Amino acid sequence: MASWTIKSLYYGKITVPKGNLASGLDPDLIIDFPYMGYLLQNGKQNILVDTGIHEDNIIDGKAWGGCPAQGGRKYVIEALEKEGLKPQDIDTVLYTHLHNDHAGGASLFPEARTWFQKDELTNLLNPLPTQKIRSDFDKRTPDDLKLLKDVYIIDGDMVLPNGLELYKLPGHTSGSMAIVVPTAKGRYVLTGDIPHLGISLFPKLDRMELLGGSVIDITPAPDIMMPYLFNSVIYDHYAAFDSYNKLKALAEEFTPQWYLTGHDCWIINRNFFG
């Protein structure tokens, strides 16, 4: 089996009431959530998953939903520098989805082979009114994608020759994609924002790690909210249920440690997987 290592990359952060991402549980709890990417390496390839938020999308220090935020392409460059890499060292970019906080740095990687789902492109070009109001997609992204020289627009699930597995998991967006990464330790799943946080897949969790490593108590979901804790940024709940059920089966085990989500602080604190 092909063996990969995974590093989490810190691209900045957004400060959001936890309740917004947890069906209203703990509405008064305000938490810094990281913008994130991942670096996948197998000794031959440097693959980047997601490219953060563009600096122009943070207006007066605020981003998505009017929440305080910091980030931008320099964060992406700095995160790669920490790993001893420059943008041109990235062979391949995989997008979990094309929301503004995941595809904002697309223009940094014009030469890289770039993969995303066909339905994600359709969603980007035809956003729902709610997606427009919240500026979920960056208006810049369609033009940024035109600059890319080697694009693979795929539809559905695939196993790549290098051992990575791609799964189309709609719900958060039409073409959200999870990536299964086989490592020496086992199979990790990069979930993108299906779900944003591990608590969505594991709603009975009663502790949450913050950026920096401290741990706080949180309210576990009541039984009526089970089996999954959805948030307000799911556009197709039927599809999301199917996607979560599929996610459940993809990892080494159905426990939180194997699910590397789009915005969980503990993943940034830990940095290395594999």
Please, which residue, 92 or 231, has the CB nearer to Zn ion?
231
Please, which residue, 50 or 119, has the CB nearer to Zn ion?
50
Does the protein bind Zn ion through residue 50 (CB under 5 A)? no
The DSSP result for 208-263, as a single string, is: EEPTTS-EEE-PPPPGGG-S----TT-S-HHHHHHHHHHHHHHSSSSSGGGEEESS
Residue 186 makes CB contacts below 8 A (sequence gap 6+) with: 251, 252, 253, 258
Q: Which of 106, 54, 48 is nearest to 80 (CA)?
A: 48
Smallest distance from Zn ion to CB 64, Å: 8
User: CA-to-CA distance for 45 and 66, rounded, in angstroms?
Assistant: 38
Does the protein bind Zn ion through residue 26 (CB under 5 A)? no
Q: Pick the stretch among 12-20, 126-134, 191-199, 218-226 that binds Zn ion (CB under 5 A).
A: 191-199
Does the protein bind Zn ion through residue 138 (CB under 5 A)? no
CB atoms under 10 Å from CB of 222, counted, come to 11
Smallest distance from Zn ion to CB 159, Å: 25
Q: Which H or E run includes 47?
A: strand 46-49
Smallest distance from Zn ion to CB 133, Å: 17
Q: Considering CB under 5 A, how many residues would be counted as binding Zn ion?
A: 3
Smallest distance from Zn ion to CB 47, Å: 19
Please report, as residue ranges, which positions from 81 to 110 form the binding site for Zn ion (by CB under 5 A): 101
CA 123 to chain centre: 17
Which residue do the tokens 């062979």 mark? 91
Please, which residue, 127 or 262, has the CB nearer to Zn ion?
262
Please, which residue, 203 or 262, has the CB nearer to Zn ion?
262
Smallest distance from Zn ion to CB 71, Å: 11
Please, which residue, 65 or 163, has the CB nearer to Zn ion?
65
Distances (CA, A) of 136 to 100, 101, 235: 6, 8, 12
Q: Pick the stretch among 37-45, 74-82, 166-174, 258-266 that binds Zn ion (CB under 5 A).
A: 258-266
Please, which residue, 67 or 160, has the CB nearer to Zn ion?
67
Does the protein bind Zn ion through residue 193 (CB under 5 A)? yes
Q: Which of 109, 92, 101 is nearest to 52 (CA)?
A: 101
Quick check: bond before 227 cis, omega within 30?
yes
Q: Which of 4, 82, 1, 2 is nearest to 260 (CA)?
A: 4
Tokens coding 215: 């741990």
Does the protein bind Zn ion through residue 262 (CB under 5 A)? yes
Smallest distance from Zn ion to CB 193, Å: 4
Q: Pick the stretch among 83-91, 110-118, 214-222, 254-262 that binds Zn ion (CB under 5 A).
A: 254-262
Smallest distance from Zn ion to CB 33, Å: 9
User: CA-to-CA distance for 135 and 99, rounded, in angstroms?
Assistant: 9
Please, which residue, 57 or 183, has the CB nearer to Zn ion?
57
Given the rule CB under 5 A, which residues bind Zn ion? 101, 193, 262
